[in-house]
Amino acid sequence: MVFNSVQFLVFLPIVFLLYWLVFKPVKWQNVLIVVASYVFYGWWDWRFLGLIAFTSLCSYASGVMIEKHREKGKIFSAANIVLNLLILGFFKYFNFFTDSFAQAMNSLGWHCDAPTLNIVLPVGISFYTFQALSYSIDVYRKKLPASHSLIDVMAFISFFPQLVAGPIERATHLLPQFQHPRTFSPAKATDGMRQMLWGLFKKMIVADTCGMIVDRMWEDYASQSGFALMLTSTLFAFQIYADFSGYSDIAIGCARLFGFELTTNFKVPYFSRSIREYWRRWHITLMNWFTEYVYFPMGGSRGTKTKTIANTFIVFALSGLWHGANWTYVVWGLYNAMWFVPLIILNRGKYRDTVASGKKLPSLKEVGLMLINFAIAALGLTIFRAPSMAHFGNYMSTMLSKSLFNVGFGHEMKVALAYCALMLVVEWIYREKRFALDFGDSSTGIVKYRAVRWAIYIMLFVFTVLMSGLHSNFIYFQF
């Protein structure tokens, strides 16, 4: 089931009403969440419900055994980690690694036929696997006690708003929320609906409009002008941002309807002034996961700068591989790590504040830094979008030809760019808020009037429904 579907439009109100009006004790609310989450996930393919149930059972059992047998806790934690990674590796990387091994052997002159299997990749397996791993690791580290309620652990791992595309929640943050009573808050529910509305606009208007053009251009990029391909790379950067951050907005807003607070996953990354700041604002929960469970255990930045650079490359290579079984993802990860090298050596790019904080407009220097950073990110995302490195090379060769100066684009691109500009303007105005429609009670200007706020909500809703003719999946469903 996807957020931008009629099925979800029926599913959500039913679960919401049952949750607050019928299943009032917290333990029964958690049972309802598990059932609703399995219906939500099973709508895609019920055969994989057993897999997520098995992951939940193993994580629950590992937590109990770690707490019961502390002297053997490392063994139980490692067993759960290895088992979950083996499952993830089989479904996601079996064909990739066997094909890569066969190609390497053949390049050395040794004939090797790679065994291949017709494996269906379970939706969201990378997300819920990492979430499950965080539970057993944090129990082992004594950062939270093991849960003795299987239902609570199952609810934590399968919570439907963020099940298939995040945010990737740490057990220390989300699991305790399942263990305490929740009370309905009209203010939080309204807030959640605002964020869902903005997420739907980003997905159904910005991302899907850009996506139609990007897909068409990539299918026939050899016959396009360099300028058109440059715009295509720009549109894909906006597409993947609007698509993925749109999902995160809907997930966070949806969770708030049920009394839960999820972790912010995006903080206006295209307003970053360095690649370092960009990665503190883009897919925040994934990078926090790798930082906590990979980067810090390797030493992080506590050693020499050479060691810090090496650790950075390892983390980004793994994060690239996490995205999928394709060398383009690994190269994309290494490409991003490469831009960290001068920042680490010079100890630069550590922006902690929001750009132009407290001001209406940025300085010329800030504009220049944001444009440079966006260009770096967009080029990297072109690698991410390419089917192979050969395709990427051909794409760049065409883009950087003389036709790069053939300025011109059609009506569809103008419309898509206008949608992107609208999204950026709104997010710039509210860049220091949690999300773009975070008006709240302290709104100023004309937005402080309730009638104005409702006019904005209705306009966005009608515009999103009427202008969107697509019900496409979210890009990160494939990861």
What lies within 8 Å, CB to CB, of 10 at 6+ separation is none
**Residue 201 sits in the same domain as residue 227:** yes
Q: Are 436 and 250 in contact (CB under 8 A)?
A: no
Q: Are 215 and 475 in contact (CB under 8 A)?
A: no
- Note whether residue 325 is domain-resident: no
User: Which residue, 188, 204, 224, 184, is CA-closest to 9?
Assistant: 204
- Note whether residue 343 is domain-resident: no
- pLDDT greater than 60 at residue 469: no
**Residue 115 sits in the same domain as residue 199:** no
User: Which residue, 298, 321, 320, is CA-closest to 308?
Assistant: 298
- Note whether residue 101 is domain-resident: yes
- Residue 323 annotated to the active site: yes
**Residue 165 sits in the same domain as residue 33:** yes
- Note whether residue 342 is domain-resident: no
- Note whether residue 334 is domain-resident: no
Q: How many domains is the chain built from?
A: 2
For range 282-299, the mean pLDDT: 95
Give 109-135 pLDDT, tens digit per residue.
666 665 655 667 788 899 999 999 999
**Residue 45 sits in the same domain as residue 101:** yes
- pLDDT greater than 80 at residue 184: yes
Among 183, 211, 228, which residue terminates a domain?
Answer: 183
For range 286-304, the mean pLDDT: 92
- Note whether residue 338 is domain-resident: no
**Residue 207 sits in the same domain as residue 121:** no
**Residue 84 sits in the same domain as residue 125:** yes
For range 451-470, the mean pLDDT: 77
- Note whether residue 146 is domain-resident: yes
Which position among 69, 173, 323, 411 bears the catalytic label?
323
Among 183, 207, 224, which residue terminates a domain?
Answer: 183
- Given pLDDT bands bounded at 50, 70 and 90, which one contains residue 102? low
Q: Are 264 and 252 in contact (CB under 8 A)?
A: yes
**Residue 12 sits in the same domain as residue 70:** yes
Question: What's the full length of the chain, in residues?
Answer: 479
Separation CA 202–CA 244 (nearest Å):
9
- pLDDT greater than 90 at residue 398: yes
**Residue 178 sits in the same domain as residue 226:** no
**Percent of the chain predicted with pLDDT > 90:** 68
Q: Are 409 and 231 in contact (CB under 8 A)?
A: yes
For range 437-458, the mean pLDDT: 74
**Residue 208 sits in the same domain as residue 357:** yes
pLDDT at residue 445, rounded to an integer = 63
Among 126, 155, 183, which residue terminates a domain?
Answer: 183
pLDDT at residue 179, rounded to an integer = 94
**Percent of the chain predicted with pLDDT > 70:** 91
**Residue 52 sits in the same domain as residue 125:** yes
State the DSSP code for 179: S
Domain encompassing residue 442:
187-273+351-478
User: Which residue, 249, 236, 150, is CA-closest to 191?
Assistant: 249
For range 415-444, the mean pLDDT: 86
User: Which residue, 16, 24, 53, is CA-closest to 158?
Assistant: 53
What lies within 8 Å, CB to CB, of 197 at 6+ separation is 253, 437, 457, 460, 461, 464
**Residue 223 sits in the same domain as residue 268:** yes
Q: Show the tokens assigned to 256.
A: 């708030």
Q: Show the tokens assigned to 393.
A: 């090379």
Judged by average pLDDT, the poorest of 70-84, 249-263, 291-305, 454-468 is 454-468
Q: Is the dihedral of CA 288, 292, 297, 302 positive or negative?
A: positive
